[in-house]
Structure 1
Amino acid sequence: MRTEKLDGLEIKFVRTVPVDQLGAIYKDAGWWQDNYKISDEFLRRIPEQSALFAGAFLEKKIIGMGRALSDLCSDAYIQDIAVLSAYRKFGIGTLIVTFLIQELKRRGVDWIGLIGEPGTRSFYEKIGFRQMKDHIPFKLE
């Protein structure tokens, strides 16, 4: 992790994010290609409809994000943890995940899971996540 500080960095929960900035994070993460067309309405709904949506803001610009899908009383799934590539290795992703976990626990959520991308195992293990033995993630095709 780089030791420099990002003065003015703020992690907070929000319900709205400028759609161009949110789309840029998804594209920078490699999840959406430049020719992948997403409506502004779809982008608006991501923070609005997530149980929790945490943004990392620097000078009022969102540079990282993460969200939780949950009933906010027993179970939660963390997903879409992403930080713009220019701001990676500052520990921002860890701050976002920790921020989400703290709020979920404060609300009494006692089961928090996620599915990490290949290569992210050590990142999540440092935060406290462990691979679930004898469980298989599924996706409807």
Structure 2
Amino acid sequence: MRTKAFNGLEIKLVRTVPVEQLQALYQDAGWWQDDYKITDDFLHRIPENSALFAGAFLEKKLIGMGRALSDLCSDAYIQDVVVLSAHQKRGIGALIVTFLIQELKKRGVDWIGLIGEPGTREFYEKLGFRPMENYIPFKLE
């Protein structure tokens, strides 16, 4: 599925993206440092192995993304929602998340969660997400 947003912006599910554009998104978000070099194979596997990978394209350039990790039948986690800083504050991130939610629901996924970074609570609450009271996120160290 594809959605036309505005001024040539297109959000669509993809399995491949230009690796240099994908790396630029992670670096722009501050998740990877400029000197953090990742192999092309690693970068190819991110969209290929995600249950769903939504790219936001402006004039065929990847300017934003979000992905879902899921079994595509009951549960899903939305992860890595990012828009290049030069294109933020235009509603693109909300379009990406909404697009992923719609695609997951079309597939019957009825539990969708995520872990937001500090400062993103209001953004996700506007999209219908609520903190999970009495639950604690964990990460293996």
Any stretches of 5+ residues in structure 2 without a counterpart? none
**Counterpart-to-counterpart distance in 2, 1:123 and 1:101:** 15
1:139 maps to: 139
**Counterpart-to-counterpart distance in 1, 2:60 and 2:106:** 27
TM-superposed deviation, 1:124: 0.2
1:59 maps to: 59
Residues 1-141 of structure 1 correspond to what in structure 2 (within 5 A)?
Answer: 6-141=6-141
**Counterpart-to-counterpart distance in 2, 1:11 and 1:110:** 22
Say which structure, 1 or 2, has more relative contact order (CA 8 Å, 6+ apart).
1
TM-score with structure 2 setting the length? 0.96
What SS does the corresponding residue of 1:72 show, helix, strand or coil?
Answer: coil
**Over the residues paired in the alignment, what is the CA RMSD in angstroms?**
0.9
TM-score with structure 1 setting the length? 0.96
TM-superposed deviation, 1:20: 0.2
TM-superposed deviation, 1:6: 4.6
Segments of 4+ in structure 1 off by > 2 A?
none
**Counterpart-to-counterpart distance in 1, 2:89 and 2:131:** 23
What SS does the corresponding residue of 2:41 show, helix, strand or coil?
Answer: helix
